[in-house]
Amino acid sequence: MKKKLTRLFKDFLHSEQASGILLILCTVLSLAVANSPLGQRYLEFWHAEIGFEAGTVRLRYSLDHWVNDGLMAVFFLLIGLEIKRELRIGELSSLKNASLPLIAAIGGMLTPASLHLLLNFGTESQKGAGIPMATDIAFALGALALLGSRVPLSLKIFLTALAIVDDLGAILVIALFYVGDFSLRYFGLSLAVFAGLLLLNRLGVRRVSLYLLMGVLLWYCMLKSGIHATLAGVMLAFAIPFSNGEEGSPSYQVQDFLHKPVAFLVMPLFALANTGIPLTRDWLQGLTSANSLGIFAGLFLGKPLGIVLFSLLAVKLGVSRLPSDVDWRRIVGAGFLGGIGFTMSIFITLLAFRSPSALQSSKITILLSSLMAGTVGYLILSRSPASSVSLSEEYYESAANDAPAYPSTAFSAERQESDRPADAGP
């Protein structure tokens, strides 16, 4: 059991790391093509409509719409499965283990949103307050992978758990604040389908294909309800049977299958479809708008500030303890890596704004802020001493054979009692 869960967690980490590198390449390529002589054709390609209409059923949308509302539902399905696994048997399954990344994530969401609202409250652009709230797991873990043994495993687990809580927060924000033309009829149908999925789970039905077929129906009802269709992925994730998380469970099978398609197909397509930003002559002026300044302040300043201050508060109050092999320099570095918004930030941008100028300036600010935050975080962590526990493949292989999926020493109060004073500060 331990071995299987460790391998699943390892696969998740490796997929996210490699995906981060691929996302960078796709973003650079998309920006370059959009601002080349082929730029107009490139944009027209993503805006071309495909699909069908049959009676009252209309499923004909642009390619970028299919990516953002269709393929991203698969991304949210994987995120939902990750959240579910963390809550059931992972780092978030016990209050002792979950407290530090949970409290840090809350700070990392509230502080950026507050800074954005401080600059935009009462204006049309206040809808962008959710943009700097989330962390891109792929980019953050990709940056950690480049640091090798300078990053202890416990910090990687901390940042992964923090980013997953961030994603959960972003999902709730999308559900509550970014609703389109609401249809009570289709929302009611969505709830009915979801109830049917939960009933199948309760009856012990384990056939994955049945859950996926009903998941497609759930997605369609959510699409027509005005609540963003991608949330159907999260709802489906929590309906798929988990059991004890063993390899034969439907949840394990779906999650294990989705790692690579999401990392190497869904997310790169999302980057290609949404970062083809043609730079107009006044694009620099857009970076000085209140919305852009709010996004920058949130990602580059609010994220690390919120993560570090809330972590410090949790430690000072005795609610949490730092892992024995993580010091405050590494928490600060992880805080800046938390400022890499990208995927979820761009996704919320698409829900918050319709104006081409607002979309352009928001996306450019997200890219620049994420680049700056990631660079600072990398530089801080690169100056940290090498960890005694390497994150190499050899370590993972030995962990798969001998250790639980989440090392008991990672957030062990007993070990920290002897290694670190209770009131240790930065």
Residue 340 has pLDDT above 80, yes or no: yes
Query: DSSP class of residue 385?
Result: P
Helix (H, G, I), strand (E, B), or coil: what is residue 53? strand
Report pLDDT for 415.
36
Distances (CA, A) of 182 to 38, 222, 225, 227: 38, 10, 5, 7
The pLDDT tens digits for 246-292 are: 888 999 999 999 988 998 999 999 999 999 999 888 888 889 999 99
The pLDDT tens digits for 115-144 are: 999 999 999 999 999 999 989 888 888 888
Report pLDDT for 387.
60
Helix (H, G, I), strand (E, B), or coil: what is residue 412? coil
The pLDDT tens digits for 383-426 are: 877 665 443 333 333 333 433 333 333 333 333 343 444 444 44
Question: Is-above-0.85 flag for pTM?
Answer: no
Look up residue 55 and give its amino acid.
Answer: G
Cα Rg of the chain (Å, integer):
21
CATH class of 2-178+228-419: mainly alpha
Look up residue 356 and give its amino acid.
Answer: P
- Contact predicate 334/155, CB 8 Å: yes
pLDDT-based confidence at 11, cuts 50/70/90?
A: low
The pLDDT tens digits for 202-230 are: 999 999 999 999 999 999 999 999 888 98
